[in-house]
């Protein structure tokens, strides 16, 4: 068992979930923007890109949802272990927190890259 700052872990979980909510809103806005772009007269290559972005937005929305749920379950586990073990967490729970942070960073970077690529596509398609 390891003693850690539980409020810090919970705070990090809340920050990650807030950020993921924002990512979800961005992805939904991108989908709307993609629909507007697709309504224009586009080349065959641009239509291929429209399909690719549509698929990417859908996949990333699923990834955001799944990670958000994993973080929520983890936060509950932290709260439960804290109460059950006098403020101590198992090494597995701490390792899970670190793994979730890495997964969050990876997804955040993926969405940032997608945001930039999509912005370039919309600019070229206008």
pLDDT tens by residue, 28-57: 999 999 999 999 999 999 999 999 999 999
- Residue boundaries of the structural domains of the chain: 2-125
Question: pTM here?
Answer: 0.92
Cα distance between residue 87 and residue 90, in whole Å: 10
pLDDT at 70: 98
pLDDT at 120: 97
Confirm if 16 and 104 have CB atoms less than 8 A apart: yes
- Mean of the pLDDT values across residues 82-89? 88
Give the C-alpha distances (Å, rounded to integers) separating 10 from 13, 62, 74.
5, 23, 9
Three-state SS at 126: coil
Three-state SS at 22: helix
């Amino acid at each position: 068992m390891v003693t850690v700052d539980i409020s810090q872990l919970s705070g990090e979980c809340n920050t990650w979930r807030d950020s993921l909510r924002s990512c979800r809103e961005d992805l939904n806005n991108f989908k709307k923007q993609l629909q507007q772009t697709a309504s224009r007269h586009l080349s065959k290559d641009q239509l291929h890109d429209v399909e690719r972005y549509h698929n990417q937005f859908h996949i990333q929305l699923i990834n955001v949802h799944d990670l958000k749920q994993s973080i929520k379950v983890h936060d509950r586990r932290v709260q439960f272990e804290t109460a059950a073990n006098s403020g101590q967490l198992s090494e597995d729970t701490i390792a899970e927190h670190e793994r979730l942070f890495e997964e969050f960073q990876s997804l955040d970077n993926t969405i940032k890259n997608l945001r930039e690529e999509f912005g370039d596509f919309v600019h070229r398609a206008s």
